[in-house]
Each structure stands twice: as structure tokens, then as C-alpha cells.
Amino acid sequence: MTGQPGDLRTLEVLTNRAEILRRLCDGPAYKRDLVDEMEHSRSTIDRAVDDLEAANLVERRDDGIVATVAGRLALERLRSFRGELDDVVAAEAVLDPLSFDAPIETDAVAGGETILATEPAPYRPLERFHGTLADARRYRALLPALDDPRHVRLLYEHVVTGGRPAELVVAPELLQALREEFPRRTAAMAESDGFDVHVGDVPPFALALVDRGDADPATTVAILVFNESGAVHGVLLNETPAAVRWAEDRYAAVRADSDERTDALFPDADGGTRSLDADGGSALAAIGDGLSVALEREGFVRLDVPYFREEPVADPTTAWRAGLTLPEVHTGYAVERTLTGNEAAAADGRGMTAALSEKLAEGQDCVVVGPPGSGKSTVCKRVACEWYDADEGPVLYREGGRGRPFDSVEDLVVTVDAADGHTLVVVEDAVRPETDAVFDAIDRLADRDDVSFLLDAREHEWQDPPGDPRDVSNIDVVTMPPLHEADGERLVERFQRTVGRSVDVPVDRLLAEVRDEGTSADGGGPNEVLLLLHRLATYVDPLADGRTSLEDAVAAVHDEFEGAALDVCVLANVLNAAGVGVERGLLYAAADADEYDLVDDALDRLEGRVLFPRDDGTYRTVHETWSVTFLAHLVDAEGEAAATDRFGRCVSALLSLADDPARRDRIAAHLDGRWSPAALDDDPGRWADETTEAVYALGRERPKLAPLYGDGERDSVALPDACSASVAAQVPRWIGRAFLEGDFYDRAERAFERLPREGTDLAVERLLGLARVAAERGEYDDAVTHAEAVLSRIGDDDRPAVRARAQMARGRARFGLGDTDAAWDRWLAALEIAEAAGDRRRTADLLNNLGVTATILSGPERAGEYYERSLEIKRDLGDRQGAANSLGNLGLVARRAGDYEAAREYCERSLEIKRDLGDRQGQATSLNNLGISAYLQGEYGRAREYLERALGINEELGHRRGVANSRNHLGIVARRQADYDPAREFFERSLAVRRELGNRWGEANALNNLGLVAADRGEYETAREYHERSLEIRRDLGDREGVAMGLRNLGVLAWKRGEFEAAREYYERSLDAAEEAGAADQVAMVQYRLGEVLGELGKFDRAGDYLERAFEHVTDGGDVLDVERIRLARGRLALARGTVDPARERAAAAHETLAEIGADHWEARGRRLLGRIAAEAGSSADAREHWRSALETFEAVGAPQDALATLRHLVETCREAGKEAAAGESCRRAEELLESAPDPVADEHRDWVEECLADLD
């Protein structure tokens, strides 16, 4: 042996020849064997064996070369060294913040696990460390600082609740922090046996020894390393005997030099902290006490260690599809949301959870509002979990749809009174009837600054509560922000980390797919968050064929089931969508006893996709929006009649359980006692009432589902005998409202007619419902009659809400009749009532209505004042939907004032809010308004884009009234671009829908527009028929402004026929009607037409006066096309008066603008006028050029009247210039046009064309 085993040469040989030495430790071998086995050359084997033999690590024997004992031991030591070296290198990232002389030895690191606090899971080190503490039998620690408030909470549960020992050695500063920040818990621990605190010179890292188990004890060593800011940088966990010995020695050394200071944590003498009760137990133990039986039955839980330990945590895909529970949020499945707008500025860069927690800690009650699936409840759960982890105080939580309806207000008040610390009470779906008693609790505890309430609600329900309205003025409204790209990235990263799989689609593309899918959802439908979670979950769903949209997933489930199994599926989705809660036993109502096996099979197939079983016999479910989408698909897939029959059969069978205890017993027996219908057995009547109300509320909230409830006269659902008479009496009112929201006016009327005519509050609801139906149809006289009957019925009764509603209905009807002054009076009266009653929501709505009338009576500036006041109230109330509507109205004011840029900005702000809210119908309205503003500016291409998007949304939603309106506006744009065939098609399709709806005002409007297109095409008789039918309806409706419009259009037809006196008579009658209606825009357009016809009659001064007044009005914010049409009329009048220069100036200016906006027909008319002016000025060549250009356009747009008039100019001018050939060519072209022209046009031009042809012969 040439040296010691540990010298450098031996170490070098050992390291370089370890592979061959390892083989020789397994048994002897000859060199030839090593060459074959090791795949090394003979020379390499020779050198390796010689080196190992020289170091006495191998030896030669008869049976070959074999390792020596020294060689075996050296190899084992090398393996150990390399393992420890790997552990040290791995731990370097965690230990990096420590100085080089930190008192950590290799034994502490070797064999350990290191966890670094890095994104996207910076909380993982603490999760692992806290997990060891939660299971500890004994706990000892050296603590220089506090890693997280949860550490104190877990320690409290360990010592006080669990009665297990713990000992801490802390830095002096930490002792003071524990006293100041956690006085209740630390005092309770100090009063407990087995807890001691020492103060000493602790190391710069935290060192904990966690002893676990009794029969098979084990100890975990945890080292927590902090960064410069004091946050946890990483954790090292080790259970090796060497690490435990090192930790025991280190802990004992520090503890020996420390001072015991447990007494410093005892309560102050002034009683600032509670002390022991008479029985020796800590008064603070109330924090861990259970809730009253009543509160538990009503769905409340208290957050504590036992709760989180006992409640299951589902796998990530199930959790994300079924909605996160508190334990799943606490586990880390949820991500922080980014605030926007003013709320983001106020939060100073913090996330939504932190901003809410700060408000609540200051004693401010809050509500989180947003559309379904936007993450409201997840945010509430995050706040609750962080409140609990930070030891802010007790947390009481009621999830939506859990337990019986909440009405144990007294129990909640007593529980809060008995609790120590700042209590947080969280209630989801707070404004629904089953939970709105929380507002009574808020009132009872209003004078307490140590209790805060956090609520959540759908935004539309917060503004229009399904239960009794409450005073919520002192509750701060926080709106769910849209899904930002950063939020989406965090969610995708969390998904990838949690499930251990990567998403092979870029986040921006995934979000784009989600947003595209969101555009097809119905109003109030799936939010982007829900859709993103659904898509992520399908990445790892073994039942999914691939990543699918929500609609695809719904269709796949529907197509898989039939018969009784499909009934089970329908019933499960009805219960879920209605928020009733899905109990396994209830689903057997869909089948007879001999079909229960089919139900078993159906449920097995639904589990893991739609239903996720709980231990108590209930189900977690997919989000309710999934179920709403399923029910809507049922209608589309099976047809309305079959879907209605199935829906009614399933719901009727469910409700009939209230009348049939024997049937309930049979179901329970089939389930071997795994279902106990406690609520049904205890009070069948109450269960029937609550379930009935929930099912019908679904129809009101989701009007697309309204057809499932019947035809208004006959209901699809049969109510059980157990249902109370008061609830049964409400059903027609509920379905009437649902049909109204869905634009099913005939059904709504039939439903409201079923309500009592005399004697009850429902008689008033009948009249108000019928008034609204009449108004939606445009039958405003009937609407007035119904509204006035309400006021007559209530007389002098003190019923301000009903009185205000009736006045609002009267005002709407009067406005529809064109009686703006009367509408103003009615709405002003309603405003006074609402303000006196403190009804701020109705006040804001009435201010909006007054803004509409003020636009007509006082001008846009006064209207803007009303809209601004309404907007202010809506914002104070947190009513973003109302604020969006007010912004849209301010856009109308700006448009009326001619400030189109401001109008666009207002409408875009309104559109943005409606997108955030998931309000698809509202988006369509905003897009329509943007389209109208664009075409008034003459930007027809952009107008068409907006309107087509609005039409697409309305068609997807099945919102027929919106479809009709969008088509009408698209027809207007097409007409202004002289695309007469598409315009006519749009108007005809709009007319068909409006007739289906019974909307007579809309029908009159569509007939009027069809008349305009016919007149543009020279089809004067057809146009007259349309206008007269429209006028007849307007007169029936008492629509004075509409009557003025109809008379004006009949005058235009007479003017186009050359019947100028008849035209003047129509115009004068139209002017009287427009002035009587206070319709300033109509007055201006009639003045324009009167100016035209008086010019033709040679009454130039009066004509000029009318045209100037009309021009002055329209240039103050009017339609750009109207401005230029009147400018052309002024040009024609100037030419008739012989003033060529003013005529040329006006015609040229109008022509330029008309060409810019793409109004081809009117641009050609401008050219024709320029041709006449050039001819008058003696420039016949220029005149002919203008006319030829105009002729091309007239022929292209299909305007034979204008084309023939232009050809006549060309024939006359060519003849005057001696250009007979050109004149003949124009004459023959006129002959061809006569053959296809409408009879009135052909009759008007036939004489001169035939005369011209005769001259040619």
C-alpha cells in the first residue's frame, strides 16, 4: 500500500475507478470478464485494476479480482459523501440568505428535503411546515421571527384545543410581537399546561422539532430561512437520525442559555385579555366551540382546525368544475384577482382579497357583486381563510345553497356576542329569500365595531332583490373585475403545478377561446372565469374526449341519456340551476319504484361529470350556469313542446314528494337509509313552498327558459296539495314576469289575466303587469288605462311603492303616445313619492326617465343634468348596471348636442361595464347605440359593424325584440348607402318579428321604413300603401309624433309625383301634429319638406324661411345626412331664384360631404344639382359630365325616377349643343329604363321619352 486510504491519491483513484470497484464489490471477475461487462477497452481495464490494486482497494485471487474490505468500505463512504454533497448543493438555494458562518452542520442537511418559496406557489414551504405542526404530538422551536400568522393559530390549536405540549425559545422582539398582535391566543396558551416560552439568543433561522406518533414515534426537523424582508425564503425538512441529533443538541444549547418568560404572555391586570374560567378552562376556548344546532342546520360553519381537518379536499379538476369549497381554497386552489379602475387605485396595487380584508378589519360591511361564474364566492372564501389564518378573529361562513333557510338571527347574534376578537360573518347569495335574514342580523349588530359582514350576490339580484328590499346604503359594494390576462396566467400556472401537467396552449390563445365562447352565452350567462376553469378541467378529465366548450359538454351529456335516465338528468339540472341543492333521494322522484335501477345507473354516469357525491348524501355539482345551459339546450334539441312536457313532468314529480310520505319511504329504503329527507319530513308545506318559489325564480332570472313553464294559461308544473295557497296564487305573477323578460307578450298577458281582479295585492300586480305588456306592444292607451286603474284602486292608501310604480307606468305610456308633457308630470310625481320613501333605486330610474323627456322639452343640456344625478346615485348604490345605462343615456345627450366623439366615449364606457357584468343584452344595446352614432356621422361601414355585432348577440340570446331593432337599424344603414334590396329585406324581417311579438309601434315603424325604400325605388303606389298602413296604426296608438312622420312621408310621395299642392297640405298637417307632440326633430324635417314644395310653387321667401329654420335645427347635433339634404334643398332654392354662386357653394359642400360618408344616392343627387348649376352658368360640357356620373350611380342603386330625370337633362343639353347622336343615345337608354320602371315613374316620363324617340325617327 503506497499511502493512507484518505490521502489524495487514494481519493482520486476511488473517485475515478468507482464504477469498476462497484462491480468487484458484487463478486470476483477476471479482466476479460470486466472488458465484456463494462464495455471498456482492455487497456482501460488494465490501468483501472492496477490503480485499485495499488491503493489496496482490490486484490487478486484464484477466482479472479475482488474488492477488499477497505475497498468496500471506501466505496460506501464515497456513496455517502456524494449523497451528502448532493443534499448540500440542493439546499444551497434555501440556505442562500444565511451568512457563511450560520450554525448549520452537514447532518442537518444530508438526507433532507428542500422547498423554495417561488412562484407560482410561494406558499408551499409554509404549507409543508404547517402540515407537520398540525399532526404534532410535541412541538419545540427556536424562533427569531414569526413566519406567518397561521403558525400562531396552529400552535393554539395544538396547545389549547388539543392539550398537547409545546415549548418555544424566541427572540425578545418576537415575544413582544406575540403579546401585541396575538394577545388572545398567546394568553390562552400561557394559561394552559404544557406550554412554555423562553427568550434567548436564537439563530438567524427558525429551527423546529416536531414529534409525532405514540406507538411509532418519529421526529421531523424543520429549518425555516427568512429573506431580507422577513418573509419565508424556504424550508428544509429532515427526519434522519443524524439531523434529529443535531437539532436536539442545538435546541438544548440555546434553551440552556435562555430565560423562561411564559408569564409575560399572561393577561394584563386591567382585564385586557380574558383569563381562566371558574372551571379552569380558558374563556378563549369559545373560539373553538361548535355552533348552535339551528345555525348548523341553516348552513353555517365555523372555521377552525377540526373543520379543515375533517372536510374533504377534492382533486383539482373536480373542485374547479364543481366550485371551490373553503378547504379547497385554504389548500391553495384559488388565485388572487386583480382589481380595476377606482378600486384598484384605492387598493394601492394590492389584490382583491387584501383590499377587502382591510375594509372589513376597519368595520366596514361589504358585498361582492358580479355575474354568475365570475368568482364571487371564491373571493369571499379567500378573505375568510386569510382572516382565519391571520387570527383576526372567529369566522362564521354560510355557503350558497347549503342548509335550510337562515332565520336564526338571534342565535347568530348570541354567537357573535360570545366570541372574542373581531368576528367575520360571510353569507353567500345574501339577497335571496332563504338568506336575506342576514340583513336583520346586520341591523342588530350595527353598533358593534368588532363584527363585520361580507356578503356576495349576483349584481342584478343586488339591484333588484328577489325578496323584500332592504336598506343596504351602509354596505360597501365591491364589483368583481373582469378576468385579466395576469389572472388567467396565474390560474393556468396554478393548474399546471397542482395537477402536474402542462397546458400545451399559450395562455393568450386559451383566454381568446374563452372570450369567444363567452360571447355566445346568454345574458347573465357564463363568465370567463367559469369557462376557463371548465376548459382547464377537461385537460385531465378521463371522461372527456378533448378540450371542449361548455356548450359541447352540455350537448354530449344530453345526447347520452334518454327516457327515465334523461328525466333524472333534467331534474338534477333543475335543482342545481334553481339553487335548491341536489340530494340523491330527490332525483328518484323522476322515476317509478320499478325504475329505481335506471336512476342508479343514470347517477353513476353523471357522477364525476355533473354530480360529485358528498358523504351526507348530497352532491356537489357543476356551476349552476352549466345546468342553465343544459336546460336551454333541452329546448333547442327536443323542441319547445317536448322540452316543456319533460320539464313539467320532472318538476311536478319532485314537488309531489311533499304529498307522498310513503313514496319518500320507498326511496329511502332503496338507498338503504343513506337518504333522510329531514326538511321534507319535518315540514312538507314549507319545503314545497320554498322549492316552488326557487323553481319559478329560475324562469324569472333566465327568461330564455320561460317557455318551459307553459303558455301562460296552462302551467307545465302541477303544484302539490302541500303547497300553500299564498304561493300558488303567486305563480301567474311569477311566470308573467318571466314571459315579459323573454318577450313572450301573449303568454305574459294570459298569465297576468289569471291573477285576481278584485280584493288583493295581486289584483294590483295584475294591472301593473298588463300595463307593461300593453306598453311593450305599443298599445299605450291600454297601458294608461291599466296604470290609472291601479291608482284608482289604491286610493289614498299609504302604499308609496305601488303608487310610484303606477305613475311610472302612466308616464311610460304617455311618452309612447307622444304626450311628453304628460309623461313628465307622471314621472315627476313618481319621483316625489320615491324620494319621500327613501327609495334611491327608483329615484335613479325616474331621473333617467325625466332625462329622456327633458331632451325633448328642454334640450340636451337639461337632460344631461338628470342623467348625471341618476349616475351619481347608481354609483353610490354600487349599481353598475344602472350606471352603465346612465352612461348610455349621456351618450345620447352628447349625440343630440352634436358631440359625436363624447357620445362614442360614453357608449364605449357603458359597453365596457356591461361586458364586465356579462350583460349580453346590455352589450347589444350599447352596440346598437354606437351603430346609430356612427351612421349619424355618416360612418356607414363602422355603423354596420356595430349593428351586425348587436344583431349576432340578440340572435344568440333569442331576444326577438332586440333582433327586430338591430335589423331595423341595419336596414336604415343599407338604405342610406342606397343598398335598397338588403334594406327591404332587413325591414321585412324586422316587421315579421314585431308582428309575432304583437309590437304594434314597431310594426308601424317597419311599415314606414318599407314605404321609404319603395319610394326610393320609384314604387310610389306600394310606398303609399305602406305609409297609410303605418299611419293607421299610429293613429290607433295615439302616437302623435308617429302621425306627423306618416303625414310627412305621404307628402313626400305627392311631391315626387309632382302633386305639389297635395304635398303642401300633407306637410302642413304633419307640422301641426309634430308641434303638438313637441317633437322638435320632426318639426325640422317637415319644415325642410315645406321649403322644398313652396320652392316648386314659386313661393321663394316662405320656402327660404322654412329651409333656414330647418337647417339651423339639424346643424345643432342633427343627422349628417339630414344636414346635407337640407343644404342641397337650399342650393336648389338658390338656383330657382337665379343666384348661381350661393347655389354652387351649397351644392358643392353637400356633394363633398355626401361622397365622404358614402351616401351614394344622395351624392348623385348632389352631382345632378351641380350639373343644373353648370348648365345655368353656360358650362354645358361640365353639366353633361356631372349628369353622366350621376346617371351611373342612379342606375347602380336602382333609382329609375332619378335616372330618367337625369337622362332628360342630358337629352335637352345635348340637343342644345347640337349633339344629336348623344341625345339619341340618352333617349334610347331612357326607353330601356321605362320598360322596367314602376308604373308611376314610367307614366311621369313616358311623354318626353316617346317625343324624343319620334324626333329620332
Residue in the block written with cell 355603423: 943
Query: For residue range 635-678, what is the model confidence (pLDDT) as tens digits?
Result: 989 999 999 999 999 999 999 999 999 999 999 889 887 777 77
Q: Which three cell numbers stand for residue 287?
A: 373560539
Q: What does the pLDDT read at residue 763?
A: 92
Q: How confident is the model at residue 274 (pLDDT cuts 50, 70, 90)?
A: very low
Q: What does the pLDDT read at residue 767?
A: 94
Query: For residue range 583-629, what is the model confidence (pLDDT) as tens digits?
Result: 899 999 999 888 899 999 999 888 877 888 876 667 878 778 788 88
**Beta strand pairing call for 218-226 and 206-212:** antiparallel
Q: What does the pLDDT read at residue 543?
A: 40
Q: Which three cell numbers stand for residue 777?
A: 306592444
Query: For residue range 1018-1049, what is the model confidence (pLDDT) as tens digits?
Result: 899 999 999 999 999 988 888 888 899 999 99
Q: List, in sequence order, the alpha helices (H) in 305-437.
A: 305-310, 316-322, 326-331, 341-347, 352-361, 376-389, 409-418
Q: Which residues contact 618 (CB under 8 A, 6 or more apart)?
A: 581, 582, 583, 584
User: Is the pLDDT confidence value at 467 over 70?
Assistant: no
User: Is the pLDDT confidence value at 277 over 60?
Assistant: no
What span, in angstroms and rounded, lies between the C-alpha atoms of 298 and 622? 22
User: Is the pLDDT confidence value at 1168 over 80?
Assistant: yes
C-beta pairs of 807-813 under 8 Å, 24+ apart in sequence = 807/833, 808/842, 808/845, 808/846, 808/849, 809/768, 809/771, 809/772, 809/775, 809/783, 810/784, 811/849, 812/775, 812/783, 812/849, 813/771, 813/774, 813/775, 813/780, 813/781, 813/783, 813/784, 813/787
Q: Which three cell numbers stand for residue 985?
A: 329585406
Answer yes or no: are the C-beta atoms of 589 and 720 closer than 8 Å.
no
Answer yes or no: are the C-beta atoms of 577 and 627 closer than 8 Å.
yes
> Tell me, what DSSP letter sits at residue 594?
G
Sign of the C-alpha dihedral, residues 997, 999, 1004, 1010? negative
Answer yes or no: are the C-beta atoms of 284 and 184 closer than 8 Å.
yes
Answer yes or no: are the C-beta atoms of 722 and 684 closer than 8 Å.
yes
Q: Which three cell numbers stand for residue 761?
A: 295585492
User: Is the pLDDT confidence value at 752 over 80?
Assistant: yes
> What is the overall mean pLDDT for the chain?
84
What span, in angstroms and rounded, lies between the C-alpha atoms of 588 and 656? 12
Answer yes or no: are the C-beta atoms of 675 and 602 closer than 8 Å.
no
> Tell me, what DSSP letter sits at residue 304?
S
- Which span out of 289-298, 498-507, 1002-1011 was modeled with the highest average pLDDT? 1002-1011
Q: How confident is the model at residue 899 (pLDDT cuts 50, 70, 90)?
A: confident
In the CATH scheme, what architecture does the domain 289-481 have?
A: 3-Layer(aba) Sandwich (3.40)
Least confident span in 394-408, 518-532, 829-843, 1092-1106: 518-532
- Identify the CA nearest to 376 among candidates 407, 353, 408, 358: 353
Percent of the chain with pLDDT over 90: 37
Average pLDDT over residues 1174-1203: 89
User: Is the pLDDT confidence value at 500 over 70?
Assistant: no
Least confident span in 123-137, 501-515, 902-916: 501-515
Q: Which residue has the higher pLDDT, 530 or 877?
A: 877
- Which span out of 81-95, 643-657, 971-985 was modeled with the highest average pLDDT? 643-657
What span, in angstroms and rounded, lies between the C-alpha atoms of 759 and 769? 16
CATH code linked to domain 8-78:
1.10.10.10
Query: For residue range 116-136, what is the model confidence (pLDDT) as tens digits?
Result: 876 555 556 677 777 777 778
CATH code linked to domain 96-265:
3.30.870.10
Q: How confident is the model at residue 269 (pLDDT cuts 50, 70, 90)?
A: very low
User: Is the pLDDT confidence value at 282 over 60?
Assistant: no
Q: What does the pLDDT read at residue 538?
A: 59
Q: What does the pLDDT read at residue 497?
A: 67
- Identify the CA nearest to 321 among candidates 44, 526, 588, 91: 526
What span, in angstroms and rounded, lies between the C-alpha atoms of 274 and 419? 12
Q: How confident is the model at residue 1 (pLDDT cuts 50, 70, 90)?
A: very low
Average pLDDT over residues 306-333: 78
What span, in angstroms and rounded, lies between the C-alpha atoms of 262 and 125? 29
Please tell me whether residue 798 adopts helix, strand or coil conformation: coil
pTM of the predicted model as reported, rounded to 2 decimal places:
0.61
Phi then psi for residue 1115, to 5 deg, are -75, -10
Q: Which three cell numbers stand for residue 317?
A: 379538476
User: Is the pLDDT confidence value at 10 over 60?
Assistant: yes
The beta-strand segments (E) located in 1035-1110 are none
- Identify the CA nearest to 840 among candidates 476, 439, 469, 365: 469
User: Is the pLDDT confidence value at 547 over 60?
Assistant: no
Indicate the domain borders of the chain: 8-78, 96-265, 289-481, 549-712
- Identify the CA nearest to 1238 among candidates 1025, 990, 970: 1025
Peptide bond into 756 cis (omega under 30): no
User: Is the pLDDT confidence value at 1136 over 80?
Assistant: yes
What span, in angstroms and rounded, lies between the C-alpha atoms of 739 and 977? 38
> How far, in Å, are 783, 825, 858, 1037 from residue 852 at the CA level?
19, 13, 10, 20
Cα Dmax for the chain: 138
Q: What does the pLDDT read at residue 663?
A: 93
What span, in angstroms and rounded, lies between the C-alpha atoms of 378 and 373? 10
What span, in angstroms and rounded, lies between the C-alpha atoms of 866 and 732? 36
What span, in angstroms and rounded, lies between the C-alpha atoms of 725 and 703? 25
Q: Which residue has the higher pLDDT, 741 or 798?
A: 741
Answer yes or no: are the C-beta atoms of 83 and 49 closer than 8 Å.
no
Q: What does the pLDDT read at residue 113?
A: 86
Q: Which three cell numbers stand for residue 1189?
A: 356620373
Q: What does the pLDDT read at residue 616?
A: 66
Q: What does the pLDDT read at residue 305?
A: 77
Q: What does the pLDDT read at residue 534?
A: 64
Counts of helices then strands in the chain (DSSP H, E):
60, 18
* Number of neighbours of residue 1204 by Cβ within 10 angstroms: 24
